[in-house]
A and B are shown apart, each in its own frame.
Chain A
Amino acid sequence: MFIRQLKKSKKGDIQIYSTIFVLLVFFLIMAIGLIFYLKAMKTSVINSAQEIAIDKFSLLLNTVITMPELRYSFHGSQSEALDTTKLTSFQTLLNSNKLYYQRYFGKISSIEIQQVYPQADEVLCTEKNYPQCSKWVIYSNGDKGLVYSTSILLYYPQEDKYKIGKIYIQAQ
């Protein structure tokens, strides 16, 4: 009778171990699946963030370079270049309409433009030293966020010449 009970309990033990083993394997598979899923989700979120950032910067860039306050136009016809005289006097305009431009630029922290071709020493442009300068700080409202840069065309009306510049937009 005792031996029969022992045999029974051994069979029961094996069944318990078997159940525990099946559950362990099940949870292991679940955990692996979850890790894969989370990794895939992370990649997808990173891609979406990149996508949004690129779209946002393209939009910001477009916002800046299409501003009539900065863009070169001739007889009402818009050119692809930024007018350097407008860039130089923009600071005065900005100071007298600070709130308007703060709302207009939104999350932009700073906008800087640097002439890169022909190469020139980095001298900040003011109304006094223009055109003997090569850098414009169009807008500055802190130093936060990522910087996006691209090539743009600069127009110098006094010389009637186009030069190459780089625009740096920093935004949150």
Chain B
Amino acid sequence: MKKGQLEMVGLVIIVILLLVGLVIYAVLNKPNDTESKKEESIRANNMRNSILLTSLCNTQTKYAIQKCNEDSSFAGCNTDCKAYIETEIKNMLTQMLKKGNNPVSDELYNLKVTFESGSETKTLYSIGSCKKGITSTTDSVPSSVGNYRYSFILCD
């Protein structure tokens, strides 16, 4: 091989090494969201649990939702139960997500309650407009007439 050719080969090797280095850097420097997602996931699950187990309409929220859906004579809320439950859940979420005196946007969360009976699935509540975020595990509560599913998305 001539000297010029050797120099060219050396240059090509350096360029290849540089490219390899850049690729390794890009891979290592990729933002690692796993842990912050893990933290948010714990938060989302805690929030969903707190909402569903809090006392509302003389029972716990998840049972209030069931009774309001199944029993037309349910008077635990002393008013239109569906509207009351929706307002109170919004209130709970606002209080939990509040930081200082800043207002809490409903884009930060979405609590969805669906009711499955046979092959039919009905969305009872969809509170908040968050679409893509950290999703909590779905809680499923069976009742005598169907199955209630509670899922929560946090966009905070």
Q: Which residues of A contact B (CB under 8 A)?
A: 29, 33, 36-37, 39-40, 43-44, 47, 50-51, 54, 57-58, 80-81, 116-117, 119, 150-153, 161-164, 166
CA A161 – CA B18 in complex, angstroms? 65
Residue of chain B at shortest CB distance from A50: B35
A-B contact pairs, 16 of them (CB 8 A): A29-B14, A33-B21, A39-B29, A43-B29, A47-B32, A50-B35, A50-B36, A81-B53, A116-B95, A117-B96, A119-B91, A152-B46, A162-B53, A162-B55, A163-B55, A164-B54
Q: Is the CB of B55 within 8 A of A151?
A: no
Q: Among B32, B36, B43, B49, which residue has its beta carbon within 8 angstroms of that of A153?
A: B49
Residue of chain B at shortest CB distance from A40: B28
The answer, yes or no, to whether B92 is at the interface (CB within 8 Å) is: yes
Interface range on chain B: under 10, 10 to 19, 20 to 34, or 35 or more? 20 to 34
Take A153-B49, A153-B54 as given contacts and tell me if A164 and B95 are in contact as well, using a CB distance cutoff of 8 Å: yes
Label chain B's interface by main secondary structure: helix
Q: Which residues of B contact A (CB under 8 A)?
A: 14, 18, 21-22, 24-25, 28-29, 31-32, 35-36, 38-39, 42-43, 46-47, 49-51, 53-55, 60, 91-92, 95-96, 98
CA A58 – CA B39 in complex, angstroms? 8
B129 to chain A, nearest CB (A): 21
Q: Which residues of A contact B28 (CB under 8 A)?
A: 40, 43-44
- Give the number of residue pairs across the A-B interface with Cβ within 8 Å: 74
CA A156 – CA B149 in complex, angstroms? 27
Q: Is the CB of A58 within 8 A of B42?
A: yes
Most buried by B among A80, A116, A163, A164: A164
CA A40 – CA B60 in complex, angstroms? 49
Take A40-B29, A81-B53 as given contacts and tell me if A29 and B18 are in contact as well, using a CB distance cutoff of 8 Å: yes
Residue of chain A at shortest CB distance from B91: A117
Most buried by B among A43, A117, A151, A161: A151
CA A81 – CA B28 in complex, angstroms? 42
3 nearest CB pairs, A to B:
A40-B28, A161-B55, A116-B95
CA A58 – CA B92 in complex, angstroms? 23
Q: Which residues of B contact A164 (CB under 8 A)?
A: 50-51, 54, 92, 95-96
Take A43-B28, A164-B54 as given contacts and tell me if A117 and B95 are in contact as well, using a CB distance cutoff of 8 Å: yes
A62 to chain B, nearest CB (A): 10
Q: Which residues of A contact B29 (CB under 8 A)?
A: 39-40, 43
